Amino acid sequence: MNYNKHANTYDAFRFARKSIVDSIVAKIKSSNYKTILDFGCGTGNHIYEIAKRMRRLNLIGVEPSESMREIARKKNPKVTIVKGNHLSVPLDENSVDMIYMVDVIHHVDNIEKMFFELNRVLKNQGNILIITVSHKQIQEKAWLSYFDGAKDISLNILPDISEIVRTAKKIGLNCYEEITIDEIPYNISINELISLVSNKAFSILHKISDKSYEKGLQKLKKDSLIKKHILRHIAKTILCFKKSALSAV
């Protein structure tokens, strides 16, 4: 997905989910962390919500897309938003207390290199929180079935939990907790889903073929004539890692 091209659409349809913000804030408070890095901060939605709750934090956002950074800066004028990616985070070694990333890891083509770079800037005993979707949670997403190939592509591009944990462990980042949030599905208006799909608010819709997209959209519209709602699964997995003194740098 070209986020420079689609930054405004992304910002219009993405938001910081309260359950995710709650989890991040709880971890910050539990260890009295001060310097927090949002890796792949996008348009700064999570930074904005966290800053509202905890005003004395030193929040930093790293984002590769220029258009996304521009929106993030306007939304968070007092926060440092810088260009960077999984190969290069423009921060000093051992400079941040905690790193979090929300729905970012599937955009990273080499998660081992990502962990090395994040480990470099993370302080000893610091935390990394990875918010993602497990393969089991992908399988539960009923709306993906409308689009040929969408579920398989999602499974291919999203590393599963075991792969993430195993890769992090190679450099001494230990997964000490795995949290599942928003486990209970809810009924979404099918017309609301059609609106989201029509605007390609889900990144997977930029990965499937035009034929699959159009065919799936027409299926949804047809179903909207006979039913008002569709069950939507929005569960996420939060992986919590801690850096030890023996972690590779």
| DSSP 8-state secondary structure symbol assigned to residue 130 | E
> Does the pLDDT at position 248 exceed 50?
no
Query: Average pLDDT, stretch 169-174?
Result: 94
- pLDDT at residue number 2: 75
Torsion of CA 206, 24, 56, 39, to 10 degrees: -40
Q: Contact, 127 vs 241, CB < 8 A? A: yes
Query: Average pLDDT, stretch 185-191?
Result: 96
Beta bridge partners of 230: 188
| Tens of pLDDT, residues 229-244 | 999 999 999 999 999 8
Model pTM score: 0.93
For residues 164 and 245, the model is more confident at: 164
- pLDDT at residue number 246: 61
The confidence band for 55, taking pLDDT boundaries of 50, 70 and 90, is confident
- pLDDT at residue number 5: 75
- pLDDT at residue number 1: 63
Question: What is the set of domains in the chain, with CATH numbers?
Answer: 3-243 (3.40.50.150)
> Does the pLDDT at position 227 exceed 80?
yes
The confidence band for 245, taking pLDDT boundaries of 50, 70 and 90, is low
- pLDDT at residue number 110: 96
- pLDDT at residue number 79: 95
Q: Contact, 163 vs 237, CB < 8 A? A: no
| Tens of pLDDT, residues 121-159 | 999 999 999 999 999 999 999 999 999 999 999 999 999
Please, what is the average pLDDT of the chain?
94
The Cα-based distances of 49 to 19, 160, 207 in angstroms read 12, 28, 29
- pLDDT at residue number 192: 96
| Tens of pLDDT, residues 70-112 | 999 999 999 999 999 999 999 999 999 999 999 999 999 999 9
Q: Contact, 244 vs 124, CB < 8 A? A: yes
